[in-house]
Amino acid sequence: MSFEEKRKDLIDDLKKRGVLTNAEVIRAMLKVPRHLFLPEEARSSAYMDSPLLIGMNQTISAPHMNAMMCEYLKLEEGDKVLEIGTGSGYHAALCAELVAPDGARTPGHVYTIEYHEELVKNAINNLKVTGYDDRVTVLHADGTLGYPQEAPYDKILVTAASPEKVPQAFKDQLRDGGILCIPAGSKNYGQTLYVVRKHGNVFEIDKKCGVRFVPLVGQYGFEN
């Protein structure tokens, strides 16, 4: 079975399970070649619905988690997105496919921050190979500070576990009406996935489900 056929089967399954419902997210998941974001030895597992190791003891989320987060963020053409935790670059590419599809009249952009230099280099390469390097900017920095240079963002996606006290930069750098999707809670015992919408000084918080992400490190993350 080709990678493409396996990808289609996975997405059919996510649709059947009711995880994937949005037509644009389905289109993006069908288009972005997840296997090309993985180390050679993990590629045969690329279209199983499970997290996988990507080096430096970090993991790429299971596809159902990528899909859910994209749906919760209500990504639209033209959105400016900030992702914390680039990892392989796969989720950033998915976001780019949604905010800046081919032929977009008002293409958006994805800024994504990664802490580990080796993963930064790898993600830049993966995004180049798959043709997303023009729509995604990878930054090597501490993501708990956000990226004020390009703020405010329409959407902020955090793909590492935040302490219960969410870094202030994420709230400050979200535009009024913007959406933040973030797992927050304990470093070792799992977290809750939150979808937060900003209305001026008020943050409307929607608690989604229990999740397990690798910890956010850095100044306002968990201690190493």
Residues annotated as catalytic are 61
Could you give the 3-state DSSP secondary structure of residue 182? strand
What DSSP element (H or E) covers 116?
A: none
Least distance between ligand SAH and beta carbon 91 (Å): 3
Q: Does 85 bind ligand SAH (CB under 6 A)?
A: yes
Asked whether 22 and 71 are in contact (CB, 8 A), the reply is: yes
Phi, psi of 217 (to 5 degrees): -105, -165
Q: Does 146 bind ligand SAH (CB under 6 A)?
A: no
Handedness of CA 63, 170, 160, 115 (dihedral sign): positive
By beta-carbon proximity to ligand SAH, the closer residue of 85 and 185 is 85
Q: Does 147 bind ligand SAH (CB under 6 A)?
A: no
Interface characters, 90-119, with ligand SAH (x: CB under 6 A): xx---------------------xxxx--x
Residue 146, token pair as written in the block: 């956000």
Least distance between ligand SAH and beta carbon 58 (Å): 4
Least distance between ligand SAH and beta carbon 50 (Å): 13
Q: Does 195 bind ligand SAH (CB under 6 A)?
A: no
Asked whether 90 and 118 are in contact (CB, 8 A), the reply is: no
- What separation in angstroms does the CA of 180 have from each of 76, 78, 102, 148, 215? 14, 17, 25, 15, 17
Q: Does 182 bind ligand SAH (CB under 6 A)?
A: no
**Which positions touch ligand SAH (CB under 6 A)?**
54, 58-61, 84-85, 87-88, 90-91, 113-116, 119, 142-144, 159-160, 214, 216-218, 221
